[in-house]
Amino acid sequence: MTRQSFVSHIVWNLYFHPLSGLPGPKLWASFRLPYVISLWRGRLVYDIFEWHERYGDVVRVAPNEVSFSDAGAWRDIHCRRPGHKPFKKNPVWWGEVPGRAESIVSASTSANHERLKRALEHCFTDRALVSEEPLIQRHVAKLVARLKEQAEVSLDCSTVVNIVDWYMFTTFDIIGELCFGDPRAFDCLENKVFHPWVLEIFSYFRIGALFSTIRFYPLVEKVLMRLLPAKAMEAQERNYRWACNKVNHRLNLDVAQEDFMSKLVPQLDTSVGQSRTTSPDAMSLAELHNNAYVLTVAGSETCGTVLSGTTHYLLENRDALRELTKEIRDAFGSANEMTFGSLVALPYLNAVINEGLRLSPPVGGSLAHVVPEGGDTVCGIYLPADTHVGVHQWSTYRSSRKFHDASSFRPERWLELSKKDLSSPYYEDQRTGVQAFSVGSWACIGKNLGMAELRLILARMAWSFDMSLPRVGKRVEWGSQKQYVLVEKTGFDVQLSLRHG
């Protein structure tokens, strides 16, 4: 591109592009590079939040991208509207790694997504949740037992731990057995260290961000792909093959056990060649491999993020922690009474989790989609076809225009009294805008399982320990950690004291 054509391109983007009338930073509207640099730095979520605070609910954040922080955008972008074409997922962010079958998050067509969703949702029905609960209970009990062991050897019956690591040990062990049928697939809780596979996964989203930014430049994509670190790419492929081998091993086990594979094997296409001889919804073995890999990553990292963030905010808000602890200990005579069903009924526990999802969502940015052919409207604004759009969650959830005391952890905003009492400072909070599991046909199929896991782990921790911040230890400012799709979590120390009485 010559200097003259580059200048002409910027002038077009600023003054003649169909999106030129929308508010936003002029530099970012001129060309994509500022956006890319922000993403590489892990600052994109926070930079776009600043733009929303300055410009409002609709911000042009790149020449062909518009970010929304309006709750109504969830409906317009993610839900089916009569007379409107669906907004497909943005292939820049959700495109599949070359050579792999499509997964439920990367499906390039609505039809393929719906087919994979029908196959996978057998793992997440109410009936499936009942059958999977003993497995999850066992791992959570092991978490508590390991932490108690460390506290019991101390004279004051307490221990200081990196709570982020322990939460991640637990979520990976749970998803490892659910996906691969192997209770020791990762064995993090037993060994008190991360499995090498897990350590490699921590770079998964940073590599994914690099992949995505390269796709913004299709003319030089092949050249840029060759510049990616070879060792990092080899590690990702090695991790993927490990997961495939674990799936194959589980398929060869002639045992009856309640895990994801027990629900997915009947959905497996057993035909040879290109045509399906089983159900039209059946998955190929390659699809099973990739979807198991995706479920393993998504089912561990997301819950670990919310648990860590929620615990951080509870420790910073002692009144909320006391209220949660009281509710849990008053409700149960023993930890064994805590079931998925009984925990659903605890209002403050659920309020704590909802507030945790607001301030520490698994995905701080947008779940990116693309305006369909012919163009369409979002929040009443017409956008041309192929415009990149999304609801920016960090901006929607933390806006002082939408939430009272928006930056503070206030679980009471989710209680029924706050929703009904006109005098409550939280009465007008726009709670419907908080959709950490997304909405519509692309909503997370594992929401009920994820919520059950969050309730159980937080409840068992509050039941078993008096939690506090140690006088000396590693601290973290949750809203300043780097984000590459998910949060690049920094560990922080928590003092756990065995409860009295």
Residues 6+ apart with CB under 8 A from 424: 417, 418
Cβ atoms of 454 and 167 closer than 8 Å: no
User: What does the CA dihedral 348, 350, 353, 355 come to, rounded to 10 degrees?
Assistant: -60
Q: Which residues belong to the annotated binding site? A: 444
DSSP assignment of 282-348: PBPHHHHHHHHHHHHHHHHHHHHHHHHHHHHHHHH-HHHHHHHHHHHHHH-SSGGG--HHHHHT-HH
* Residue keyed to tokens 């609505």: 110
Q: Rounded to an integer, what distance in angstroms lies between the CA atom of residue 465 and that of residue 74?
A: 39
Q: Which residues are annotated as a binding site for heme?
A: 444
DSSP class per residue in 380-440: TEEE-TT-EEEE-HHHHHH-TTTSTTTTS--GGGGSHHHHH-TTSTTTT--GGG--TT--G
Structure tokens at 200: 């490699």
Report residue 157 CA to chain centroid gap.
35
Sign of CA dihedral 150, 144, 353, 88: positive
CA distances 160 to 144, 187, 285, 449, 489, Å, are 14, 22, 44, 29, 18
**What is d(CA 120, CA 17) in angstroms, rounded to the nearest whole number?**
42
- Max CA-CA distance within the chain? 77
**How many residues are listed for the chain in this entry?**
501
Task: Tell me the HSE value of 321 on the side-chain side, using a 13 A CA sphere.
Answer: 16
Tokens of 12: 């077009």
Is-contact 18 11, C-beta < 8 A?
no
Cβ-based neighbours of 326, under 8 Å, separated by 6 or more? none
- Structure token digits, residue 163: 């709570």
Residue 85 CB neighbours (<10 A): 15
Contact 287, 102 (CB under 8 A): yes
Q: Return all residues near 269 (Cβ < 8 A) that are at least 6 apart.
A: 276, 277, 278, 279, 282, 283, 284, 285
CA distance 166 to 486: 18
Dist CA 246 CA 251 (whole Å): 9
